[in-house]
């Protein structure tokens, strides 16, 4: 079970000490990551060349979830913790119960681009203002509420133990900065004190649910970038097929111009497919072998992130190409008929299963650490992948 689920089951509370704060931050990374396979599936099942608005909207949210995961890792490192990403316990199983949300919500499945998928996305990103306020000891209601608990926890613990005790010196080298993470709204920055910690939490919650009862995020205020819609509202545009107007409020339906959304331009999948299901048809379809490879490369991605969050920020330069390789692999799976002829006859296509266990991570650790040793990835030095050699014809390196 992932840390986040354990924490969820203990009910709503504010972290009371440094140890709990670290547990909360580990859970935060897990929650951010939990959304990534969900959004990847929604995005890569869109037929190439169609639904461009939707594609780029989902992509932008996906990138920002990775930003949030990285900011949470920076925060965890700043408070003396150790982000743990490259292990089976980090990854949820789908359909996955969404931690820190109402227990009434159904588990989050992997779904192809569809109105149902968008409704799932909306549930994930639902702003606090649209959910009832929490009571101490009662159940959780929203991810926004979870981040607010974290914020309170940071303030209370700093108040009690002093800033220096919470943010010990000598941990700057663990921080991932904008040199190593890019291509999302906002920016990664180093966390080293209460102020930067609170800013990180603010970025995470405002990109997700918007600035205090508006539909907008705070990229303009914090990063001097273009103001964009918060995640919930970006998804709601797709879901309703209409864009927001400049004066729309969170409770309003979008009132701007219509958006072209063609729900039929999708590759339907059976989100509950498992590698074991594909294995039954291994003699007639390569989907099984490719789904297995996908999972092992996904484990490599998480292992890269693990190393990037644990003293080698430049390893992001290995994580990004791995992510791009997974983009191509996901598309290939989604364009293949489901290996089960009965499902294929119903129009169902194959999909990655995101099943990651100990064996995948053990293998990934070995491969990734070899690559790191070869390429160096020293902080501040130019990225140079030239020492790497591709393992197979299918991988970039």
Partner 1 sequence: MADPAATADVQDFVKFCVPLTGFTAFDLYATDMAGAYLDTARRQVGPERFDTFWTAWKQAVTGGGGPQDLAPTHREVARALVYLWYTGAWPRLAPAAHADLRREQANTEFVVAPEAYVEGLVWRTFHGHPSGAKPPGFGTWGVRPPAPPEVEELRAGLGVRDVAYRTGLDAEVSPEDIPAHLLPGFRSGRHVPPSEVPVATVPGTIEEGRV
Partner 2 sequence: MTEHVTADAAARRRYDIVIVGAGWAGSALAQRLGDKGWQVLVLEAGNGDTDTWPGFLDTLSTFRSAVAKVPNSAYRPNAAAPSPNVLDLAPVRNPRPGEPEFTAGGYFVQNGPLPYGTDYLRALGGTAMHWLGAVPRMRDEDFETRTRYGYGRDWPIGAAELQPWYAEAERLLGAAGHGQEQYDLGVVHDSRYEYPMQEIPRSYIDRYCKEAVEGEVITDPVAERDYTLTLYGLPQARNSTPNPRYRTDPPFRVRGAVGLPNFGERCVGNASCVPICPVQAKSLPLRIQAAFPRSVTVANRCVVTRVRRSGERSVSGVEYRTYTDPASPVSRSYVVEADVVVLAAHAIENARLLLFSELANGSGQVGRNLMDHPTVLSWALGAESKGPVGPFRGPGHTSGWEVFRFGEGRRRRAPFRIEIGNWGWGWATGAPMSNVATALGIGGDEHGEVRPDGVFGPELRRLLGSSVGRQLQLQLAVEQPADPGNRVTLDGRHRDAMGNPRPVITYDLSEHVRDGALAARAVAGEIFRRMGADDFTNHAPRDGVPPLGHFVHKGTDLAYSGAGHGAGTHIMGSDPATSVVDADQKTHEFDNLYAVGCGSMASVGTSNPTLTMMALALRSAERIHDSLATARRPVVIRTPDTTEATA
Q: Of 161 and 328, which CB lies nearer to partner 1 in the complex structure?
A: 328
Q: Of 217 and 325, which CB lies nearer to partner 1 in the complex structure?
A: 325
The one of partner 1, partner 2, none whose footprint includes residue 225, by CB under 5 to 8 A per kind, is: partner 2
Applying CB under 8 A, the span of 24-32, 74-82, 202-210, 324-332 interacting with partner 1 comes to: 324-332
- Whether the Cβ atoms of residue 222 and residue 199 lie closer than 8 Å to each other: yes
Count of all residues that appear for the chain in the document: 397
Q: Of 170 and 380, which CB lies nearer to partner 2 in the complex structure?
A: 380
Applying CB under 8 A, the span of 114-122, 211-219, 244-252, 332-340 interacting with partner 1 comes to: 332-340
The one of partner 2, partner 1, none whose footprint includes residue 277, by CB under 5 to 8 A per kind, is: none
Tokens 């929604």 belong to which residue? 42
Tokens 């991932």 belong to which residue? 176
CA distance 340 to 334: 14
- Whether the Cβ atoms of residue 89 and residue 2 lie closer than 8 Å to each other: yes
Tokens of 183: 């291509």
- Whether the Cβ atoms of residue 121 and residue 112 lie closer than 8 Å to each other: no
Which 3 state secondary structure label does DSSP give 230? Answer: coil
CA distance 143 to 150: 11
Is 241 among the residues that bind partner 1 (CB under 8 A)?
no
Is 47 among the residues that bind partner 1 (CB under 8 A)?
yes
Instruction: By CB under 8 A, name the one of 324, 366, 370, 373 that touches partner 1.
Output: 324
Applying CB under 8 A, the span of 3-11, 47-55, 70-78, 203-211 interacting with partner 1 comes to: 47-55
79 burial level (CB within 10 Å; 0-12, 13-18, 19+): buried
Peptide bond before residue 95 is cis, with ω within 30 degrees of 0: yes
The one of partner 1, partner 2, none whose footprint includes residue 290, by CB under 5 to 8 A per kind, is: partner 1
249 burial level (CB within 10 Å; 0-12, 13-18, 19+): exposed
Q: Of 317 and 364, which CB lies nearer to partner 2 in the complex structure?
A: 317
Is 91 among the residues that bind partner 1 (CB under 8 A)?
no
Half-sphere exposure in the Cβ direction for 239 (13 Å, CA) = 17
Q: Interface mask (CB under 8 A) for partner 1, residues 141-160, using x and -? A: --------------------
Instruction: By CB under 8 A, name the binding residues for partner 2.
Output: 49, 52, 56, 60, 63-64, 178-180, 182-186, 219, 225-226, 228, 320, 324, 380, 382-386
In whole angstroms, the minimum distance from the beta carbon of 186 to partner 1 comes to 20
CA distance 198 to 196: 5
**Which residues of the chain form contacts with partner 1 (CB under 8 A)?**
47-49, 268, 285-287, 290, 317, 320-321, 323-325, 327-328, 331-333, 335-338, 343-349, 383-386, 388-390, 392-393, 396-397
């Amino acid at each position: 079970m992932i840390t986040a689920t354990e924490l969820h089951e203990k009910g709503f509370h504010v972290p009371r000490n440094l140890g709990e704060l670290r547990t909360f931050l580990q859970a935060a990374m897990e929650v951010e990551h939990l959304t990534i396979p969900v959004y990847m599936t929604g995005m890569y099942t869109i037929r190439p060349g169609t639904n461009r608005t939707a594609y780029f909207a989902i992509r932008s949210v996906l990138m920002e979830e990775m930003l949030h995961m990285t900011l949470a890792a920076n925060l965890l490192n700043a408070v003396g913790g150790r982000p743990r990403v490259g292990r089976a316990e980090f990854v949820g199983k789908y359909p996955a119960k969404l931690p820190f949300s109402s227990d009434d919500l159904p588990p989050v499945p992997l779904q192809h681009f569809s109105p149902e998928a968008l409704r799932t996305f909306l549930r994930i990103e639902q702003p606090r203002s649209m959910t009832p306020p929490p009571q101490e000891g009662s159940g959780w209601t929203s991810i926004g509420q979870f981040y607010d608990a974290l914020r309170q926890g940071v303030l209370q613990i700093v108040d009690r133990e002093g800033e220096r005790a919470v943010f010990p010196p000598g941990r700057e080298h663990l921080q991932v900065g904008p040199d190593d993470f890019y291509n999302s709204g906002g920016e990664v920055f180093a966390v080293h004190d209460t102020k930067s910690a609170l800013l990180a939490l603010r970025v995470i919650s405002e990109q997700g649910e918007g600035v205090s009862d508006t539909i907008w995020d705070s990229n303009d205020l914090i990063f001097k970038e273009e103001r964009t819609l918060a995640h919930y509202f970006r998804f709601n545009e797709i879901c309703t097929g209409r864009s927001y107007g400049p004066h729309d409020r969170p409770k309003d339906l979008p009132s701007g111009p219509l958006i072209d959304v063609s729900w039929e331009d999708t590759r339907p999948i059976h989100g509950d497919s498992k590698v074991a299901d594909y294995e039954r048809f291994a003699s007639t379809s390569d989907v099984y072998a490719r789904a297995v490879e996908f999972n092992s490369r996904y484990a490599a991605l998480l292992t890269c992130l693990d190393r990037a969050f644990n003293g080698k920020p430049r390893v992001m330069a290995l994580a990004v190409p791995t992510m791009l390789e997974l983009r191509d692999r996901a598309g290939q799976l989604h364009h293949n008929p489901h290996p089960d002829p009965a499902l294929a006859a119903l129009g169902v296509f194959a999909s990655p299963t995101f099943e990651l266990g100990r064996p995948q991570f053990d293998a990934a650790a070995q491969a990734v650490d070899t690559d790191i040793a070869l390429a160096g990835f020293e902080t501040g030095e130019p990225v140079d992948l030239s020492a790497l050699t591709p393992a197979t014809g299918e991988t970039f390196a």
